[in-house]
Structures are given as structure tokens and as C-alpha cells.
Structure 1
Amino acid sequence: MPLRLLLLLMCLCIGSALRAEEVLRIAADRWPPYADQGLPGNGVAVDMVRAALKRAGFASAYIEVPWPRVLHGVKNGEYDLVADAWYTPEREVYGEYSEPYLINRVRLIKRRGSSITFTRLADLYPYRIAVVRGYSYSADFNNDPQLQRVPVFSFVNAAMMLQVGRVDLTLEDEITARHHFNGDLAEVKEQLEFLPVPLAENGLRILVSRHNPRHAEIVAAFDKAIREMKADGSYDALMREHGL
């Protein structure tokens, strides 16, 4: 075998080995039941993302940090991807989105017995609304300058502020809110209630940092793996394992 060809094959083998050893750093904030180190598989979203990446040939590791740090870490390349992001065009500057792999139904929450109603955003203008810092709820909600948004660190924080009257409303994915109402917010859940009309339905996606030179490849491989998992039943099986 010519020396040049031998050297080329050696380089290809070394490159393949390095790629195989690459571990994608997945970041998310605690957001049960989607992301939570205290839950099986670190939550259904993290479990789903890691399963799809594994099928696509990527090793991964999960770290749980506050949401502002998640986004900052993906911006500067500290983390390779966010496990559970809603779409906003601003984030496409520093990350590439996958197709949605789950759907979140965002609902407003008020104190039980409150007269607040909602059919359009203008109905909410008189009220103080607790929102988690850095979260994107819907394009219209995020960008409406007349809404009185009160930034907080977590949904639990928002719900407690709502219960004592420091804000008039908060909002969250319905499954996440019910998870908290059956857990760490059990003492206040009878004092709060959902408004009937949902604010939005958002697709849950991974957001891969553009600092990773393989970001487009990772997104394409992830989307393909999710399609395969839905086709062979492993997607539904994983959802059932998490009680969804």
C-alpha cells in the first residue's frame, strides 16, 4: 500500500475515533417532568433527547443549571445543546433548532375565584403576570409592550407570589404546572386555577450551539432518530415509562 494512502487511512481512523469519543454537553433548567435530575432518566425530555442522540451515534452528558445560564452557555459554547427549548428567532443567531419532538400547552393561572378572563392579550393588560426569566411563551406574548411582565426565577416562585397576591397571573406548560401542584405546590393548588383558554401551544425542540462545528449534522441526525423512534414504537414506549 502506498505510504500516502496509508497515512490517509490512519488520519481517517483517528478522526473517527475522536468523533466517537466526543460527548455532547446537554444543558437544561429544572423543569419537571421534562428535565429534573430527581426523576427517572432526568425527566422525559432529557431522556428522549439522549435516547435519540444515542440512536444517532452521539454520546451525551446532562447538566442542570438555571435557565439564564443554560442560554449563556449555549451562546458561548460551554454547552453543546439545550434539551428543551421553545422557538424564538433571536436564538437562531447562536443556535440551530431541531424539529419539535414534544408539544407544550401553555396556560394562564389565576387565584381561585378571581374575575380575570382571557380571550385575547388585551384582556391581560391590567394585570401583573409573573414570568420566568429568559422563558419564551409565545411570540405575541413576549413582544407585547403593554403586558405587565414580572420576572421571577421559577414557576414555583411565580405560583407562591400569585397565591399571596403579589401578582395577578402566572403561566406555565399545563403538564409541568400539574406536576408541581401534585408535589411542591400541593399546599396552594386549591387556591389557584387555570384559565379555560390556553395562551399557546409550543413545540419543544433541541437548540444546538453554533460553536459546535457539527451543529447542522447533530440536528439532522436527531430529527431522523426521532422519526425512527416514532415509527418503531420506542417513542411511545418511552413516553409511557414517564407516565405520559
Structure 2
Amino acid sequence: MSRLLRAMGLLGLLLMAQASAAEKLRLVADAWPPFTDINLANGGLATDIVRTALKRAGYATEFEQVPWARAILGVGEGRYDVLVNAWFTHDRTLIGEFSNEYLLNRVRFLKRKDNPITFNSLKDLHPYPIAVVRGYAYSNAFDSDGELQKVPVHSFSMAVRMLAAGRVSLTAEDEYVARYNLSLEAQSVRDSVEFMPKSLSENALHILVSLKNPNHEQIVASFDREIAAMKADGSYDRLFHQHGL
């Protein structure tokens, strides 16, 4: 009987491994360079990390880049299996399961160099219009502060141009994202803005696996395991170097 049980157990493990290998996960993200962008090497840093970890876990992947609202909707409806670049919010737990943190985003305010704004608390910023990208979660305190004058925009590029033109007083973005996008702007824009010293928040970046995928728990567990292994064997850090970060 013990031999039979062992054989059945081995067969079960083999079938699970085959199912994992056969499953092709549909990954999705919006354009968010340098983390996710089909025009960058291997789709950007975050896409590269996620695909590498999932490949190590035995999953084949395909990646599609769509606007953020469509990505969220697609994960909720099960048209996509994995959202590559998700910050945690409670609402998103209703449509997907979060992995552990695999990247950290440091969000900082930018202002015009000639504007003497100081930032010690959000109350200090209540008098100033702030450009924010629609659909993004900056921090719980920032997102829930009804006295902040938030001006919704489509992209950081639009936000920083409005800032340089004096149409808003502030904007906020992940530091690496802001530096990447500023490198693409006109010199006049780059020269007119600067980062404020204090960070707004530090946000953990996760994958979000659709609850419509019946294997979502296994996918998250496998991903978390491989990220830990990549950090231990040095391959995680090598991906940062390859992307110039």
C-alpha cells in the first residue's frame, strides 16, 4: 500500500508540473518606463523580472501592453492572468491575489525651481494644485485627503509639462520613472523643475494574479519562491544592472 501511495503521489506531482509547464500565462501592463514598456529591452525592468521568475517556476508567458484601465478590467474579467505592475489597494484584492513585494517605488514630489514650496506634511500642500495621473494610487493618506487640489491628467509627461508651464504647482511620480521621462523632455522643461527632498511614499510593487485563474494561489507562491531564489543567487541584481538601474 505504501508503494502505491508513493507512486500516486509522484504521479500527482508530475501532473502538476506538466500542468504548470503547459499553462501559458497572459501578462499585462500599461506603458510605465523604465519598468514596463514594449519598446525597452525585454519589456522593461519589471516585465523582465516577472517573466524571468515565472519562467524559472515553469510557466510560459505572453505579454500585452494596454492602457491601465483596460489592464485592470481585463484582470478582473479573467482575460489576463497577471498584472505585472500593481501597487496594493484593498479594491484590487477583489479581483486578484497579490504576490509579495518584488520592487520598491519611491514616490517624490517635483516643483518648479523658482517656487519656494516646502513639504513636511500633506497639510503644507493644500494651497497648491497638484497634477496626478488618473487611476494611480500614490499613498493612502494622499489619495484620501479631500483638501488637496488634485488635477487629473493622462500621464506624467503631461503633468511635468503643466508644472514647467506654471499651470500646476506640483506633481508626483516614482523617482526612476520621473528621471527616465525627464530625459525625454525638452531641456527647458528639465531645467525648470526639481525633486523635493522628502518622499511622499515608498510603495511595494507586486504582481496581481486574476482570481479567475483557478491556479492563482499556486502561481503567486511559485513567483514568490523564485524571486527569493533570484535575490539569493544574484540574478535579481544582474537584471537591474542590465537595465541601467
TM-score normalized by structure 2?
0.91
Q: Find the counterpart in structure 2 of residue 174 from structure 1.
A: 175
The answer to whether the aligner puts 1:20 opposite 2:21 as a matched pair is: yes
CA contact (8 A) 1:68 1:133 kept: no
CA contact (8 A) 2:102 2:227 kept: yes
For 1:44-93, what per-residue CA distance to the aligned partner results, in whole angstroms no more than 9, with x for missing partners?
A: 00000000000011111111111111111111111111111111111111
Could you tell me how far apart the structure 1 residues matched to 2:229 and 2:13 are? 28
Moved over 6 A (4+): 9-16
Q: Find the counterpart in structure 1 of residue 212 from structure 2.
A: 211
The residue matched to 2:54 in structure 1 has which SS?
helix
Q: Find the counterpart in structure 1 of residue 165 from structure 2.
A: 164
> Closer, same or farther in 2 for the Cα pair 1:82/1:124, shift >3 Å?
same
The answer to whether the aligner puts 1:112 opposite 2:113 as a matched pair is: yes
CA contact (8 A) 1:128 1:169 kept: yes
The residue matched to 1:231 in structure 2 has which SS?
helix
Q: Find the counterpart in structure 2 of residue 55 from structure 1.
A: 56
Q: Which amino acid aligns with 1:115?
A: P
- Larger CA deviation: 229-238 vs 10-19: 10-19
> Closer, same or farther in 2 for the Cα pair 1:14/1:104, shift >3 Å?
closer
Q: Find the counterpart in structure 1 of residue 7 from structure 2.
A: none
| Consecutive unaligned residues in structure 1, runs of 5 or more | 1-8
The answer to whether the aligner puts 1:67 opposite 2:65 as a matched pair is: no
**Deviation at 1:10?**
11
The residue matched to 1:224 in structure 2 has which SS?
helix
The Cα RMSD (Å) is: 2.0
The residue matched to 2:64 in structure 1 has which SS?
strand
TM-score normalized by structure 1?
0.91
Could you tell me how far apart the structure 2 residues matched to 1:36 and 1:185 are? 21
Could you tell me how far apart the structure 1 residues matched to 2:198 and 2:12 are? 59
Report how many aligned residue pairs link the two structures: 236
- Larger CA deviation: 216-225 vs 145-154: 145-154
For 1:10-40, what per-residue CA distance to the aligned partner results, in whole angstroms no more than 9, with x for missing partners?
A: 9998886554332111111111110011111
CA contact (8 A) 1:25 1:61 kept: yes
Q: Which amino acid aligns with 1:171?
A: A
| Consecutive unaligned residues in structure 2, runs of 5 or more | 1-9
Alignment of 1:116-127 (within 5 A): 116-127=117-128
